[in-house]
Structure 1
């Protein structure tokens, strides 16, 4: 795995790895946690989806295990209404290429990855704790699926870091949603430049700068977000059940690697 590509071989996987595979012509990636023995735990729409009301909802059909006509002999069919599922690696990849998500990357590395949803500045917890969180959420759920605020990438990042975004009015932990929102946002924010210049290259440079700044500021490990807390998986599921997630007391968030 390097600067240009996070692609990895199956043989290099370790329990606790955050993996993903691109879907729909590289428009959307599906994320999960590899837990060993050729199994991946991941978050899907289940029966608790909150849609966007836009064409983005069509991308969500790729966020589950393979829907082959021939049932997989090793995968357990997901229960209705439970978005966290366990699949074999083949069903998770659904014919796609295997990639591993990067953690503790440097700011330069992060910004060099122009596409969000491939790495984070945040620090990963030990692999055994990551697997524990994923298996616990397999039994207890991860709340209501939302493409912007609580999706498969958010699930995997939470399992890896224990970090959670409390403000439900904002985007979640993942960088994929930031990329979707950040491109149009950069174009809008850079539009006033047209009042003082007609240089298309200058406007493009400003738009790129705004986009990169927004991605960096929104990353869960940047230290710039004030809506991020460290939450134990047991506390998370209890508070999800009681609707008290927003009152969790903040804990220190590890600083990004310089």
Structure 2
């Protein structure tokens, strides 16, 4: 066994190492949240500018999708529904209610990718086997004006997990993740890289949730304050613990 002074030095070193390591991690997490807040503020500024800009035509929209994220841009196109098929993205929540985001696929021109158009939010039945009874948009030309969005792919779960149903002679596809590449493979036709949320849809009054920034800059600032507070409390606690634990031993060693 080592001498008391050696044990004391080892214990002090270990306590110091733990204190510095944990304190550094907590502070870094705080600064990371502050950095995320700045990014969100910049993104919000970009979204505001895009909303105020002129509407894009479909060709400009498609070309732009090859160069940068598209969320927030507004487009003005005329398209026709490809079919009466309704697509339902499940596990959505709006105003505390669980449900689906409903979509329909439109053709803008015969040579360009099809466009996925959001019809809006519809509440889900408690019984998953009972699907919403939605009337699709008519298979006639329709002017579509609205904003577009893209969703980040979840690296832990990006599969469609498709289920297909027929309700009142209408086909319904229910899926779990808005993966446009996988969805395009499923339907056998290329899709535009973003979804259109039109300002108005005929004969429909469904809510249209708009959450391009799930966590605001203020949220990140609040989280940063929590991390910094935790760092300060932890440091104070460890200093107090070190003083209570090692001060008597330190005095004993000196004597």
Give yes or no for TM over 0.5.
no
Q: TM-score, normalised by structure 1?
A: 0.24
The structure where strand makes up a greater share of residues is 2
Q: TM-score, normalised by structure 2?
A: 0.24
Q: Which has the larger radius of gyration?
A: 2
Q: Relative contact order (C-alpha < 8 Å, sep 6+): which is higher?
A: 2
